Structures are given as C-alpha cells and as structure tokens.
Amino acid sequence: MFSSLVVYSLLAIKICTVGAFPAYQSLAGLTREELDAVVRTLQYDPPPPPPGPLANDSAILVNDADHPYMSLQPGDQRGPCPALNTLASHGYLPRNGIVTPVQIVNAVQEGFNLENSFARFLVYSTFLVNGNPITNLMSIGDATSATGQNPPAPATVAGLDTHNNCEGDTSMTRADFYFGDNHSFNETRFQNFVTFSNEYGGGKFNLTAATELRHFLFQDSLLNNPTFSMVSPRLFTAYGESVFPINFFIDGRDTSGQLDLDVARSFFQNMTFPTDFYRRNGAISNEGYETVFNAYPIVPGANQGTVNSYKYDPTSATLSEPCKRYTTFVLRNIQSLYPNPTGNLREALNINLQYLFDATVAAGENCTQVFPYGQ
Ligand code: HEM
C-alpha cells in the first residue's frame, strides 16, 4: 500500500503533466483511484519535430467545407494574432485555442502559406516564452489551466496575450499594454488603419499605407506611452506584422497587393476567412518589410519612463542582425525565464531550443548555436 507521501513524491518527480489534469487543482484529498488516474496522464513525451514545407504550396480554397467557421464557446482562447485566431475559428488549429508548436506550423502553412523556416522560428521563439515546455501546449490567448501544470516562476506560461517578448507595442489593431487591453480588437486603432488606407492606398491597405501607418504608430507610442519599447524580438515582429496583411490576407487569386478593408476587418475583428477565400499562391514570409523600414528607419530602443524619452539600446539586435536576435533571445530572454532547469524540463527546453536553431539554419542565416543548458 502506497503512503500518501510516496504518492505525492512520485507525482512531484513526474511533474511533467499533460493537459488532461487541471493545472491549478491541488492533488491533496484525491482518492487512491483518482491519483492513479492522474498518474496515467503524467507521462512526458519529448516534443516532436516540426513539419517541413508544404508539398503543394499553390493557391487553394481554405475556407472550405472541412473548415467551417464556428463561433466561440465559453473558455475558448483567442488573442492578439488575427491569423491564429482565424485558424482556430476554422478548425485549422484546435478550436479552443490550446495548441502545440507542430499544430501551429501546420496551420499557418496550410491556411496561409507562411514559409516554413520563418514559421518555425516564430513558433518556437513564441512557444519558449509563452508555452508550457512540459505539456507542449500553449494558449493563443490568455493564461489558462488547460495548458497543464506550469513550470515554476520566473517562467511565464501565460499565452500570447502576455506582454513580453512576443506581444508588443505599436500594434495596428490592438492597444499598447500600457493603456490596458493589449490583445482585443480595438475599433479606434482599426480606424487609423482605415484612415491611412484611404489616404495613402486609395481605400486599400497596401505597402504605402503600411509604411505610413507604421511611422504613425511609432510616433504615437513615442509621444504617449512612457513604457514604449521597440527592441528585438518585438522590433522584428512589428515590421513583419506591418506587411503580413498584404502578404496573407489578400485572396491568392488576386496579385494586386491591395487589401480590401472589409476583408481586413474579417480577419482582424471577426476572426474568419472571407467566403470563398483562397490562400496566397506560393509560400512567403515578411517580404516588403524593408520598404516599410527604409522609409522611416529607427534604432532599437525604449522610452525611459516618460513620454518622448526614447533611448537607443545597443544590446538589441537590429533588423539586419538575425544571429544577434537568435543569440540574445536564447541567452537573455529564455535564460531569464528558465535560470536553472532540471530533468524533463531541461530536456524539453533543449529540444525546443534545437528546433529554434534549426529554423535559423533552414533560413540560411549561418548563426553559431548557443547552449545555455549544455548539449
Ligand atoms: C501567416 C501567419 C501569420 C499571419 C498572417 C499573422 C498576422 C499577424 C498580424 C497582422 C498581427 C498584427 C496585429 C496588429 O498589429 O493589430 C499579428 C500579431 C501577432 N501574431 Fe501573428 N501572424 C501569423 C503567424 C503568427 C505565429 C506563427 C505566431 C506565433 C506562434 C504569431 C503570433 C502573434 C503575436 C504574439 C502577435 C501580437 C504582436 C503584437 O501586435 O503585439 N503570429 N499577427
């Protein structure tokens, strides 16, 4: 007969839970049968490798009969990314918004034709910050017990809504964290998107409108947000996201580069593909971002606690330093979240870090691999 102490010790050793057992539920008071049932769910599975590129990356109908839009159910997670929200609402991702890295890579490729190495870097960098390495689950929205038993602080297994390395300032349709809700669709900000599209794109969102809107958003945060920050990795995602609507939200049969504003609202606010929507023809990533950047170049930096006090941060990678981006992300961002991991947590982190580095190799970046937790 097991004493409760032994049972609890076993559970502590096998802290690597999967999502079936609610994260914040105490194990105390469970019967022996209930504990046995929990123990069966506590097996650690090493995270599987990400998929390669699509075999067929042509434009195809993605709002199809197999992927109907369904409205949210109570508890379903949605967050700051209009693409992931849409993929979940159409079943390319689990509709509850609790996802694995492999599911995200598959979904962004199948639903939008995002280029494979770019997708992998984005997914693993985001997952390492906001996901649960033990259960291999991440929320595309808020923190939730559905991602399983959390590793100890300072890890932040808190979903994409978390204001940290991934979610950041100057979003086009979401407010800066300093002003409150940083992840829900914000009509006032969307009206800026509309205004700039009307003024610079003849009523459509195009590269010129994207360029002018990004400059406006930078100035807006600079002058109104005392905590405004624009350092790597946010620097990279901010410029990528400026061109994502042009690269991915335009129907794949249309090569004009002009995004209709009703279609934009369909993604940003309603989290749904337009009727009869085809994904773009051929994989692509952030093409066009240099145009946006070069019109109004900036240095990485942040306000210093007051508005309009932006100071250059030489420790941040610039857009032309992808390897510095990788190295500082691992040695600074990840190590600060996981200073001294052991056991399965360390193994899971190392595997995910390997997948992150592999993405830089696939992108041809020739970076030197770093090993914060040994090889
Ligand atoms: C083809 C695939 C994707 C597209 C088209 C896309 C599109 C976008 C766009 C347009 C935004 C900006 C929202 C705004 O400024 O209002 C955004 C934000 C975001 N996306 Fe995605 N995304 C894609 C893939 C991903 C992936 C793979 C991840 C991570 C797993 C991700 C995570 C995020 C996050 C965290 C934000 C919030 C950043 C912020 O504005 O603060 N996205 N995405």
Per-10-residue mean pLDDT for the chain, 375 residues long?
Answer: 30 30 34 40 78 98 98 97 98 98 98 98 97 96 94 91 89 97 97 98 98 98 98 97 98 98 98 98 98 98 98 98 98 96 96 98 98 95
6 C-alpha to center of ligand 1: Å?
Answer: 45
* Predicted pLDDT of residue 17: 29
* Predicted pLDDT of residue 335: 97
For 340-356, letters b (16+ CB in 10 Å) and e give: ebeebbbbbbbbbbbbb
The single residue listed with the structure tokens 């709002």 is: 63
Ligand 1: residues within 6 Å at CB? 80-84, 104, 108, 112, 114, 119, 122-123, 126, 160, 166-168, 171-174, 237, 241, 244-245, 248
Residues 6+ apart with CB under 8 A from 41: 17, 18, 20, 21
Query: Of 81, 116, 137, 178, which is best to mutate to test ligand 1, by the most ligand atoms within 8 angstroms of its C-beta?
Result: 81
Residues 58, 276, 282, CA angle at the centre, nearest 5°?
A: 15
What is the spatial distance between Cα 40 and Cα 73, in angstroms, rounded to a whole number? Answer: 28
40 C-alpha to center of ligand 1: Å?
Answer: 36
Closest C-alpha among 188, 86, 119 to residue 358 = 119
Ligand 1 atom nearest residue 237's Cα? 38
What is the spatial distance between Cα 171 and Cα 218, in angstroms, rounded to a whole number? Answer: 9
Closest C-alpha among 109, 113, 117, 52 to residue 360 = 117
* Residue with CA nearest ligand 1 atom 18: 81
- 296, 310, 349 from 208: Cα distances, Å: 12, 25, 41
34 C-alpha to center of ligand 1: Å?
Answer: 40
- Which pTM was predicted? 0.90
Query: Of 241, 246, 287, which is best to mutate to test ligand 1, by the most ligand atoms within 8 angstroms of its C-beta?
Result: 241
Ligand 1 atom nearest residue 169's Cα? 41
For the chain, the 3-state helix, strand and coil shares in percent, each to the nearest 5, are 40, 5, 50
- 92, 262, 263, 360 from 267: Cα distances, Å: 15, 9, 7, 29
Burial of 43 (0-12, 13-18, 19+ CB in 10 A): exposed
H helix runs in the chain, sequence order: 4-13, 32-40, 82-89, 101-112, 116-130, 187-201, 207-224, 234-248, 261-268, 289-295, 322-328, 335-337, 343-362
308 C-alpha to center of ligand 1: Å?
Answer: 27
* Predicted pLDDT of residue 43: 56
Closest C-alpha among 102, 101, 76, 100 to residue 90 = 76
- 18, 142, 150, 151, 266 from 15: Cα distances, Å: 9, 22, 9, 9, 41
171 C-alpha to center of ligand 1: Å?
Answer: 10
* Predicted pLDDT of residue 152: 87
97 C-alpha to center of ligand 1: Å?
Answer: 14
* Predicted pLDDT of residue 375: 87
Q: Are strands 259-260 and 98-99 parallel, antiparallel or unpaired?
A: unpaired
* Residue with CA nearest ligand 1 atom 21: 81
What is the spatial distance between Cα 23 and Cα 149, in angstroms, rounded to a whole number? Answer: 4
Ligand 1 atom nearest residue 189's Cα? 16
